[in-house]
Amino acid sequence: MLKLVVALPACLLSAVALAQQPSHEHAAVTGGPSEAVVVLVPMKNSGVNGTLTLTQHGNDVVVKGKITGLKPGKHGFHIHQFGDLRDGEGKSAGGHYNPSGAPHAGPEASAHHAGDLGNVDADSKGIAEVNKTVDGLKLQTVIGRSMVVHADADDLMSQPSGNAGARVAVGVIGIAEAKHTAAAAK
């Protein structure tokens, strides 16, 4: 009986706190956020950085943004398990996000890691304009994880991660501030 008496006020306090949260925070608790942001930081003085947005569109997530400081050509681009940037080489981000235990492949393959986004292509100035749609991904499942840009192209078949080389930039996927989301929609 004592547990019920203690638990009931805690539940009521949680409900009151949830009702007082701004709408974008409430969405994160109830149905998930609709937009996230990633600020890529260079690993080992690579000079690679950028900003990306991830937006939920129905059953898909659209990833848009710009990455700079790359060598021209293709670079592996993935969602990784952890939002941990403590290791200067990006290794603390873990492996590719892969909740179903699928093999590594390109995003068009019928079986692939949920975090397999293929490659980004940097132009002659080292700039990659990103505009990718990730089929069947729920944004709320990747908040707090990381996005990683690799030094080399992902071959889309080598196991476990496509032989894409070192991690040249890593950023944590965080919930976007509502005023930026509203301003971008105008």
Annotated catalytic residue 57: no
Exactly one of 24, 60, 84, 104 is catalytic; which is it?
104
Exactly one of 80, 112, 145, 154 is catalytic; which is it?
80
Annotated catalytic residue 80: yes
Exactly one of 75, 78, 112, 145 is catalytic; which is it?
78
Question: Using CA atoms, how far apart are residues 95 and 155, in angstroms rounded to an integer?
Answer: 16
Exactly one of 75, 112, 145, 167 is catalytic; which is it?
167
Annotated catalytic residue 116: yes
DSSP string, 114-146: TTEEEEEEE-TTS-EEEEEEETT--GGGTTTSE
Exactly one of 75, 112, 113, 145 is catalytic; which is it?
113
Annotated catalytic residue 24: no
* Phi/psi of residue 155, nearest 5 degrees: -80, -5
Question: Using CA atoms, how far apart are residues 60 and 79, in angstroms rounded to an integer?
Answer: 15
Question: 64 pairs with which residues across the strands?
Answer: 53, 131
Annotated catalytic residue 87: no
Annotated catalytic residue 112: no
Annotated catalytic residue 167: yes
Active site residues: 78, 80, 96, 104, 113, 116, 150, 167
